[in-house]
Amino acid sequence: MKVLVLYDYPPSPGGLATQGDLLYRGLFELGVDAHAVHFESAQEKEWYYRWFKPDVVVGVGYWGHTPQLVLHPQRYGIQPVPWLVADGYIANYQEVLNALPLILVTSNWVKEMYVRDGISGDKIEVLPVGCDTDSFIPFKKDDPKIIAVRESLGISPEQLMILTVGGDAASKGAQEVMQALAIIDAKAPDWKYVCKVWPQPRTKVQNMLDLEMATHLGIEKNVTYATNTISRNFMPYLIGACDIYAAPSRLEGFGMPQVEAGACGKPVISIKAMGMLDTLIDGETALLADIAQKIVVNEVTLGGESGFEEKHRVIFKEPRTVDYRANVHDIARHLMLLMTDAGLREKMGQAGRQRVVEKFNYKVVAKQFVQLMNDKLGIK
């Protein structure tokens, strides 16, 4: 089997790049003849098509990347298999995607979104995102690298560190977490809430709004926003430094940081919806808050990034849910339970680690990919 993997290569620290890179690594380590190339590099992709002659081109992205992941390899007679995430609504390329023999998605919820928006479900298979469980491991509290992370964030040894990681924090549910922390602040053990976000103009605006909320709630002294550029090498230690990983995400097709937290032996607080229903087990590896609100829209405005002319308006026959909000009181209850019970934190962390190693290790995912190519496309 010869596989060309399209993603943001060489990989940036982002989720899609990590998703693609771990599949590539897994295939390579299994002995599969595989190469990686940037999904937007038309010349380099064509170069691989001509000399490597891959049996399949698997491309990581969302439906808007269909020109790069599907149409480009098809021009050269190469079989594409997109591995897709969802962003709330699949607005275009239904005809192209429905003509494919196989589409991979990251969770059952993502599959539901594609089927809802016109993609045939009989050709969609769920392939979870892999996790490097050799790097994301449980660390001892007295590990010098863990101590150094906490010291750099101004967190004392006796304080409980709650962590959220994302491109921005609000989309990962940080505002709901802050509201919950404000509810329990007077009776909770000493805590600090750290939001690690990616530095970009949009994030700066959102950070200010989040910090304004923290000030309004009266917890600003206990909230830290870390906005430095970091590598994937640092992530296991950042997660390893926390006591609780909290991300009741508003939109999440898989939940890679939640899985990485589990690999590090950390209990997770999230939302009972979307990709987390695949990756987390409520009451065993995580505590999941109920849905408090679904954000519904009647129309969207799209542009060139989605294959339309600018300001293209799409009006739905039925309103579409594009975002979720977790129940703040559930989050508060879950936080209080974990903050006051070290034994429960340890137990849930161990269960989370075991589940990630068994289900989401990147080599396990690569084996699933190889099996799907064999079963669905007859490629060996």
Using N-to-C axis directions, what is the helix angle for 15-29 and 362-377, rounded to 10°?
80
Identify the CATH assignment for 2-130+361-377 out of 3.40.930.10, 3.40.50.2000, 2.60.220.30, 3.30.430.20: 3.40.50.2000
Q: Are strands 56-62 and 80-85 parallel, antiparallel or unpaired?
A: parallel
User: What's 139's DSSP letter?
Assistant: -
The DSSP result for 205-271, as a single string, is HHHHHHHHHHHHHT-GGGEEEE-----TTTHHHHHHH-SEEE---SS-SS-HHHHHHHHTT--EEEE
The answer, yes or no, to whether residue 259 has pLDDT greater than 90, is yes
The pLDDT, as a whole number, for residue 109 is 95
Average pLDDT over residues 2-25: 95
The pLDDT, as a whole number, for residue 317 is 79
The reply to whether 144-290+327-359 shares the fold of 2-130+361-377 is yes
Task: Output the six-digit token pair for 260.
Answer: 């990485």
The answer, yes or no, to whether residue 9 has pLDDT greater than 80, is yes
Instruction: Look up tokens 């293209």; give the residue.
Output: 312
Average pLDDT over residues 83-99: 90
Average pLDDT, the chain: 95
Task: Output the six-digit token pair for 87.
Answer: 């962003």
CA angle 55, 59, 61 (to 5 degrees): 170
pLDDT tens digits for 202-223? 778 888 999 999 999 999 999 9
Domain ranges (residues) in the chain: 2-130+361-377, 144-290+327-359
pLDDT tens digits for 280-326? 999 999 999 999 999 998 887 877 777 778 888 888 878 888 899 99
Average pLDDT over residues 21-44: 98
The pLDDT, as a whole number, for residue 377 is 97
Task: Give the three-state DSSP class for 341.
Answer: coil
The answer, yes or no, to whether residue 243 has pLDDT greater than 80, is yes
Q: Which of 162, 379, 134, 115 is nearest to 267 (CA)?
A: 162
pLDDT tens digits for 170-199? 999 999 999 999 999 999 999 999 999 988
Average pLDDT over residues 71-91: 92
The answer, yes or no, to whether residue 339 has pLDDT greater than 90, is yes
Task: Output the six-digit token pair for 196.
Answer: 């690690």
Is residue 223 within 8 A of residue 180, CB to CB? The reply is no
The answer, yes or no, to whether residue 31 has pLDDT greater than 90, is yes
Separation CA 337–CA 334 (nearest Å)? 5
Top-level class of domain 144-290+327-359: alpha beta
Of the chain, the percentage scoring pLDDT greater than 70 comes to: 100
The pLDDT, as a whole number, for residue 303 is 74
